[in-house]
Amino acid sequence: MSISTLSPSSERSPGGEPELAPLPWPERPAPQARFERRRPVVSAPEPFAPPPFEAAWGDPSEALSRWRTSVTLSEALSEQRPDNMTWQRDVLRARRRIARAQLALGAFDEASATCEQAIERAERAREVDPSHLEVLEEAAALHETLGWAHGAAGRVRQAAAALREALAAWLRRARLLPDPDERPALQGLLVNCRRIARALARLGDAGGAARAWDEALRCAQALAAAADAQHPDRETLADMLAARGDALRRAGRLADALESYREALAVLERAVAAGAEPDALAERRHGVQQRIAAALAESGRPAEAAAQHRAALAVATRQAALAPGALHWQRAVAESHAGLAAALRAVGDREQAEAALRAALLARRSAYRASGSLEDLRALVALQLETGDALWDAGDRPAAEAAYRAARTLCEDERTALVRPWSIVHERLGDLALEDDRLEAAQASYDEAWTSWRLTSGPLRDRDEPALRERRAWLRLRQGRLEEAEREARTARALRERAVGADESEAGERALFLAELLLGEVLEAAGRLPEAHAAYEAATAIAARRCSEGAYRPEARRELSIAAERCGATLEAQGDLAAALAAYERAAVLREAIAEREDAGAQALADRAEIELRVGALLLARGDEAAALARHEQAVSLYERALRTGADGVPWLGASALAAARLARVRERRGEFEAALAANAQALERLEALRAAGRGETRWRAVRRLVLGDRGRLRAVRDGRADSPRRALELRLQRDAPRFELLALLRVLHRLGYDEDSIVYRS
């Protein structure tokens, strides 16, 4: 209810005192993206295809028929002599070849069944002779073939499990060799480990891939130490170390990844010192330096990342100058400039970041003009979108929209070939319009994105659908079309659950968290609080699981605090204040830990301030005024720190004003009127700064009227104590004071018992 609609006799508190017009809350913290915003413009990944069918085996159909005939005879012989390991090996080998033929013919389920039956036979044979090397070899190869079959059928988790078992089987066999360190044995194990590591990496099993690369590197080091061995191929060793770093980085082990990348770089530098041509290794050096920079950026060390990007840029620039027509070096220059721009933005050097991004765009355009290829055009569109993202993050929304429209123009002539980039461009335009409350423009952009998406095909089509449905749900929520919003949100959540069921990746888990949070907000808006609370609890469970796995990730802990706060809000709305307070306190503990880190920014401080306000309000509702005052003071102090910490303090001005206004009301309730007036003045000062910054939207004008009304009431109370409340009212009538001051003073008259005066002056 607005202060301008209140009369002195309106809505009384349980004690008979008129209630104050409620102040709005600062906006609740939300994840960095409410949905999968800014999806990359990438080509569809290659399907998980099994190794090619060996040419020596002939036609797969003929080979399948031939092997089925031979396996029947082998199985009959092996049943007569189960202790004959040679016959058991022949059966296993024939079964594996049958599975390979079935894979080549696309019969993935049949191949899986063939492998599983053969693996059971191999286990029975191992019970008879646990150390028969040829049976162990076939068992390992069968597990690997089973992994390929599951992977080709899209059963990612089962594929990764089978390949992990294959790695373990190859290692068991190697340990049973008479001399496991002899050169042929090490070379064979190295080949197997590298093949499995690559397959696990393609499946997204970062942990399994890292272990396989560890074993491959152990073999390479053993080969290097062998007395009769030549020096190992340094390029191959560097490639393996870089691939191991990629796996560790995807697994969240950033320190270990950096160590592996730096070791790869050291190998290349030793190769140059030993006489290798530097230009011949330049491409590998550039790739490793880019990886180091990316890992440093993900570790929250943007200044060091910028230094590495500059080193990579120096390599790429030199090679581009030496070979002007080499397009891959022009692309490398663009990649290094783009990475440098992102690192410079993270350290707050916007001017240099924009210069680097312009240079990246120039290099990308040059590569596209020279090649005319769709891939170069796709990369140029992606970089144009990245430019828009950077401008949006910097607060320049008109320039961001212009960059997105430039990306749209690039796509127009190749719309049929670039259907997915066209869809993503319109998503960005819709996101920007939605954030600016231009709902009709957002609807038009999202409709175009949806229409384009329906023309796509391949694995990315299924991956894109939930993100599009989440956007439609948010738009329907903002439009007040709650039934449609709920339908889209539930469909998106079901798609996310199905994706996580097939591939339990970090990105999939986070996407499911966002989907649960979105559904909760839709249900909360519809007033279905128990259902909203259940969705928020599901989001809390996902966030808690993400926090318990891998390295410390502040963003995961922040999202856990967001889910806990949402749970508290639904509990508070249902009247369970004790449970709500407990949920808020859990969120407060998490946010305090994040805000106290050395690398904490203004957002972390503002997040903590917001939850302190909510805890303070609940404490006040329960009558603990001293504790409530302390939490409100803490919130005001944190917002002030956020204003000083952030490069741009404007986003926190409104929240800081609301916190100060709430503090003023707490002090007023305690009878501390001078201190309340000081806090009120601070709130007005922040609102004036917000208006001067061009952010005086309708919402903040309404807040300013409320705060001015509080000031009039507080002054009236102070004047009433010094003289007569009736005299204070008369003075305000004489100078034609604003209506909100008169209404505020009428409240004071009522509060102090001047009921007759309140009635007389009410008109």
pTM of the complete model beyond 0.75: no
pLDDT above 60 (res 287): yes
Q: What is the pLDDT of residue 203?
A: 83
Query: How far apart (Å, rounded) are the C-alpha atoms in residues 344 and 497?
Result: 37
Q: What is the pLDDT of residue 464?
A: 86
What does residue 574 show for φ and ψ, rounded to 5 degrees? -90, 0
Q: Are 607 and 594 in contact (CB under 8 A)?
A: yes
Residue entry with tokens 């033929």:
101
Report, as an integer, the average pLDDT of 436-448.
93
Going by pLDDT thresholds of 50, 70 and 90, the confidence category of residue 341 is very high
pLDDT above 50 (res 395): yes
Residue entry with tokens 């079935």:
102
Q: Are 266 and 289 in contact (CB under 8 A)?
A: no
Could you give all domains of the chain from N- to C-terminal order, each with its CATH number?
Answer: 601-698 (1.25.40.10)
CA angle 158, 134, 75 (to 5 degrees): 80
pLDDT above 90 (res 470): yes
Q: What is the pLDDT of residue 490?
A: 97
Name which of 698, 34, 699, 28 is nearest 431 in CA terms.
34
Going by pLDDT thresholds of 50, 70 and 90, the confidence category of residue 746 is low
Q: How many other β-carbons are positioned within 10 Å of the β-carbon of residue 338?
A: 24
Going by pLDDT thresholds of 50, 70 and 90, the confidence category of residue 84 is confident
Q: What is the pLDDT of residue 128?
A: 82
Query: How far apart (Å, rounded) are the C-alpha atoms in residues 336 and 41?
Result: 18
Q: What is the pLDDT of residue 598?
A: 67
pLDDT above 70 (res 1): no
pLDDT above 60 (res 716): yes
Going by pLDDT thresholds of 50, 70 and 90, the confidence category of residue 6 is very low
Q: What is the pLDDT of residue 16?
A: 35
Higher pLDDT, 402 or 435: 402
Report, as an integer, the average pLDDT of 404-415.
90
Report, as an integer, the average pLDDT of 111-132.
88
- CA separation (Å) from 407 to 40, 443, 480? 13, 19, 31
Higher pLDDT, 135 or 232: 135
Q: What is the pLDDT of residue 181?
A: 63
Q: What is the pLDDT of residue 8?
A: 28
Report, as an integer, the average pLDDT of 581-609.
88
pLDDT above 80 (res 423): yes
CA angle 330, 335, 338 (to 5 degrees): 125
- CA separation (Å) from 196 to 45, 193, 241, 253, 527? 18, 5, 15, 20, 52
Q: What is the pLDDT of residue 348?
A: 79
Q: What is the pLDDT of residue 7?
A: 27
Report, as an integer, the average pLDDT of 285-306.
91
44: left (phi over 0), alpha (psi -120 to 50) or beta: beta
pLDDT above 60 (res 188): yes
pLDDT (tens digit per residue) in 345-366: 888 788 899 899 999 999 999 9
* Token pair recorded at residue 363: 């290099």
Q: What is the pLDDT of residue 571?
A: 95
DSSP 50-63: PPPPPGGG--HHHH
- CA separation (Å) from 542 to 157, 529, 536, 701? 19, 20, 10, 39
Higher pLDDT, 18 or 373: 373
Going by pLDDT thresholds of 50, 70 and 90, the confidence category of residue 720 is low
Q: What is the pLDDT of residue 99?
A: 92
* Token pair recorded at residue 242: 């870089």
pLDDT (tens digit per residue) in 608-665: 999 999 999 999 988 899 999 999 999 999 999 988 875 556 778 889 999 999 999 9
pLDDT above 70 (res 165): yes
DSSP 490-542: HHHHHHHHHHHHH---HHHHHHHHHHHHHHHHHHHHTT-HHHHHHHHHHHHHH
Going by pLDDT thresholds of 50, 70 and 90, the confidence category of residue 3 is very low
Going by pLDDT thresholds of 50, 70 and 90, the confidence category of residue 4 is very low
DSSP 206-241: HHHHHHHHHHHHHHHHHHHHSTTPPPP-HHHHHHHH
- CA separation (Å) from 307 to 262, 289, 297, 343, 759? 14, 10, 11, 9, 73
Q: What is the pLDDT of residue 180?
A: 67
Going by pLDDT thresholds of 50, 70 and 90, the confidence category of residue 757 is very low
pLDDT (tens digit per residue) in 696-708: 566 788 888 889 8
Contacts (Cβ under 8 Å, ≥6 apart) of 190: 216, 219, 220, 223
Going by pLDDT thresholds of 50, 70 and 90, the confidence category of residue 552 is low
Query: How far apart (Å, rounded) are the C-alpha atoms in residues 169 and 187?
Result: 16
Which run of H or E residues covers position 625? Answer: helix 625-645
